[in-house]
Amino acid sequence: MNLIEEMPFEVDASMWSSILRGCIAHGSRSLGKKVAERITDLDPDNSGAYVQLSSIFATSGEWENSEQIRKLMRDKQIQKNPGFSWAES
């Protein structure tokens, strides 16, 4: 987190997304919340950040906050990008 904040250039949402994935992988919910909020400030249409933030709230039992994020997505008409697989059967 300190490294990304001290970069000598402007950090974009994709760089913050890398930090967010690390927060989720290591169970750092409080930092994950801050990072997800930073991403949504930089890229308000970034569905992934909203979904991850909602998941962070849900896994910590903050169901009302999780639902508020989902409601915010609906209000802003932000839809989660569907997943897909490259695997063939």
Domain of 35, CATH number, reads 1.25.40.10
Stretch 72-85: mean pLDDT = 80
Our CA dihedral for 66, 70, 73, 75, rounded to 10 degrees, sits at -110
Q: Is 49 exposed, middle or buried (0-12, 13-18, 19+ CB in 10 A)?
A: buried
Tell me what percent of the residues of the chain surpass a pLDDT of 90: 11
- Report yes or no on 82 lying in a domain: no
- Report yes or no on 19 lying in a domain: yes
- Report yes or no on 81 lying in a domain: no
* pTM (predicted TM-score): 0.73
pLDDT at position 88: 63
Chain-wide mean pLDDT for the chain? 84
pLDDT tens-digit readout, 14-71: 888 888 888 888 878 888 888 888 888 888 888 888 888 888 888 888 899 999 989 9
pLDDT tens-digit readout, 63-74: 999 999 899 999
